[in-house]
Amino acid sequence: MMKTAKGAIPYLLMVAPAVLLLAVFFAIPVLELLHVSLLTEQPSPRNPVPAESLVNYARVFGDSFYLRMTLNSIMLGICTTIAVLLIGYPIAFYLTRAGSYERTLISVACLLPMFINVIVGILGWYILLLPFGVVQQTLSSIGLVSGPLLVLRTFPALVGVLTYEHIPFAVLILVASLQAIPSEKINAARSLGAGTMRIIRTIILPMTMPGLVATAILVFSLSTSSYLTPILIGANRVPVLPLAIFSYGTELLNWPLAATLSFILLVLVAVISYAFAAAMSRATRRGAWEIV
């Protein structure tokens, strides 16, 4: 079975460009960022090689401002994830049972944010939610609100727009996961007298649990690290980690602090995702026994 070294060389040459390019332009920048996060000050012509220490991490962990910012980021991620799952699951369920024409229409609508520029979606919501924008005028014409509508710069508006952006991921993953359920299982349950709610609770939900977990992790990590929506819809009223990373990284030119916040964000997302996946896999394994 062992191939000779000579036979492996063409394969190595085929793999090399991709691996080298990503090693140089992905791995090195990330390692470099880790190094920068340890510097005590921004490298400058006067001080090109600053001393290394954990002072930035100490500063971030000792400041309640950054703590609140981190909590905001996590809350934003959790709220968005829950909203995306609550909306995406019924849609995916409906899609698997819809006719061809209906399926295309709903797919286009629900996958649209993936195909158009994220700025276009944000711009649309921005126009809709302006203090004297479309939503305010509609609501006040039927007498629901009076005066300017103050939702644009709030946490719920942020969750709403992020939910809009991430629904496509949920729909894609959940449709695939719902389609994988063998219809014999459902027919068997039905012929044995199970009602629709019971079938959903005991068959469909447990069998799509891996899809739900995958969606939750993806949406959580994307929305927690999202930058554009918080800056354009929240405009610094809802401070989150990516906003600080951008502002220290490009405007205030404090790379060490920006790098420190980046790694905190990275570790935070990774740890929460991993813990959630581990907890859920234990739960689903138990669920799997019930449906066998």
Partner 1 sequence: MLALRIFVYTIVVLMLLPVLITLPVALTTVPRISFPPTGIGLRWFVAIFGDEVLLKSIARSFWLALGSSTIAILIALPCALAIQRGPLRGRTLVETVITGPRMIPQIVLVLGMLVYFEQIALAETFLGLLVAHLVLTIPFAFRTLLVSAAGLDRRLEWSSAVLGASPVRTFLHVVLPQLKTGVIAAAIFGFVLSFNNVTLALFLSGIGQRTLPVEMFNRMYVGGMTPVIPAIAFVLALSGVLLFVILDRTVGVYRYLAGGS
Q: Which of 122, 204, 213, 238 binds partner 1 (CB under 8 A)?
A: 122
Who's near 223: CB < 8 A, 6+ residues apart? 76, 77, 80, 81, 162, 165, 166
Instruction: Please state, in angstroms and as integers, the Cα–Cα distance from residue 139 to each residue in 57, 135, 150, 156, 161, following that order.
Output: 47, 6, 13, 18, 19
Facing residues of 52 across strands?
39
Say whether 131 sits in a helix, a strand or coil: coil
Q: Which of 78, 82, 130, 194 binds partner 1 (CB under 8 A)?
A: 130
DSSP structural state of residue 3: P
Site for partner 1 in 3-42 (CB under 8 A): 3, 7-8, 10-15, 17-19, 21-23, 25-30, 32-33, 36
For partner 1, the closer of residues 22 and 144 by Cβ is 22
181 binds partner 1 (CB under 8 A): no
How many binding residues for partner 1 (CB under 8 A)? 86
112 binds partner 1 (CB under 8 A): yes
128 binds partner 1 (CB under 8 A): yes
Site for partner 1 in 195-254 (CB under 8 A): 218, 221, 224-225, 227-228, 231-232, 242, 245-246, 249-250
Q: What is the CA radius of gyration of the chain?
A: 24
The two three-digit tokens of residue 100, written as one number:
């061809």
111 binds partner 1 (CB under 8 A): yes
Of 62-70, 89-97, 140-148, 187-195, the segment contacting partner 1 by CB under 8 A is 89-97
For partner 1, the closer of residues 4 and 146 by Cβ is 4
106 binds partner 1 (CB under 8 A): yes
Site for partner 1 in 155-174 (CB under 8 A): 164, 167, 169, 172-173
Q: Which of 53, 90, 131, 187 binds partner 1 (CB under 8 A)?
A: 90
48 binds partner 1 (CB under 8 A): no
263 binds partner 1 (CB under 8 A): yes
276 binds partner 1 (CB under 8 A): no
